[in-house]
Structure 1
Amino acid sequence: MIETTVEAVTTPTARTITPETPVTEAAERLRAPDVSALVVLDSETVVGVVTEGDIVALVAETDERPSVRAIMSAPVTTIPSGATVFEAAERMRSVGVKHLPVVDDGVYRGLVSASSLAPYCSRHNVAVDWADDPLRVDGSGSTGVTAGD
């Protein structure tokens, strides 16, 4: 079985900002329908992620309008492009994030989100153990699919 890698579902053109970007500019960029997060780069190094939730928290907590550095999620959990989508989903679940910057050898490659992984990961893992032969012909000549208890 071939497993889909993160590289196949990465948004390579994900929007980026710097830590010094004004939070109002970040909010404007997040208004675009296709932008769910902004990756914060400092000299080509991923140092944070800003989401709509970060902006909402800022507005709810204060009237200040600081730079992105003050509200970005950091440190950042990243994933290499060669990881599988299931590894990415597990990392998101275990860390409690919905976005992972894709980084190979310290170089930012793009962004993978929970919504981009959704088509590749089922909500529940289903394991079926057959207790008997699943296709059995009974004495009446009819066939039926059965599963043991």
Structure 2
Amino acid sequence: MTTGPQHLAAPPETVDEDPPIARLMITRVVGITPDAPLSTALRLMATTGVRHLPVLDGDRCRGIVHEVDVARFVSSGGDSPMSRAALHVEDLTRPTEPLPTTARRYDAALRMQTEHVDAVLVMDEDRLVGIVTATDLVRSLAAFTSAADQQSRPPS
């Protein structure tokens, strides 16, 4: 039986089990226009190292092109020069509703699960400000788990 106050290893406000996506998102966003040829999207993905391209029509975000969709198209025989020349980014764009910067990690994970995608776009009012990928979610969860493990260890 304890008679004194119990102390936590860290105050509850320092542990955020569901951080806002603004803390997780990548702010270096590489976008493309819907009328761009597929070959441009492929080159852009390869040279910048990104796997997702937001499709921007002026200030309006029309959706996102996922690397997996491009790979699926190419592997289905759509890799002939004639078929690639005829295909534009808009043909592979998945419409999506971006999340606001106030959304939480849970919201991003749920959206990825329900839309069967591995990235979500983040908007601040009418401006695209970031992207959150499944890799970002895993890193965030791993960091949280590591911090929780360290807090639960007794002092040495």
Q: TM-score scaled by structure 1?
A: 0.73
The structure 1 segments of at least 4 consecutive aligned residues displaced by more than 6 Å after TM superposition are none
SS class of match (2:107): helix
Instruction: Return the alpha-carbon distance in structure 2 between the equivalents of residues 94 and 57 of structure 1.
Output: 20
Amino acid at match of 1:11: I
Q: Give 1:88 shift.
A: 1.0
| SS class of match (1:94) | helix
Larger Rg: 1
Shift of the alpha carbon at 1:33?
6.7
CA distance in 1, matches of 2:47, 2:136: 17
**Percent of aligned positions with the same letter in both sequences?**
26
* Inter-partner Cα distance in structure 2 for 1:84 and 1:48: 20
- Give, in whole Å, the separation in 2 of the partners of 1:114 and 1:4: 15
- Is 1:53 matched with 2:80? no
Rounded to whole Å, the distance in 2 between the matches of 1:12 and 1:110 is 4
The number of aligned residues is 121
Determine which of 112, 123, 131 is the counterpart of 1:103.
Answer: 123
Distance 1:33 1:18 in 2: 16
- Structure 2 matches for 1:31-50, cutoff 5 A? 31-32=46-47, 34-50=49-65
Q: What value does the CA root-mean-square deviation take over the aligned residues?
A: 1.7
**Ranges in structure 2 where 5+ consecutive residues have no aligned partner:** 1-14, 143-156
Deviation string 1:19-40 (CA, Å, 9 cap, x unpaired) is 0111101001112473121110
Query: Which of 67, 87, 90 pairs up with 1:69?
Result: 90
Q: Report the CA distance shift for 1:4/1:34 in structure 2 as closer, same or farther (over 3 A).
A: farther
Q: Among 131, 139, 149, which residue is 1:119 paired with?
A: 139
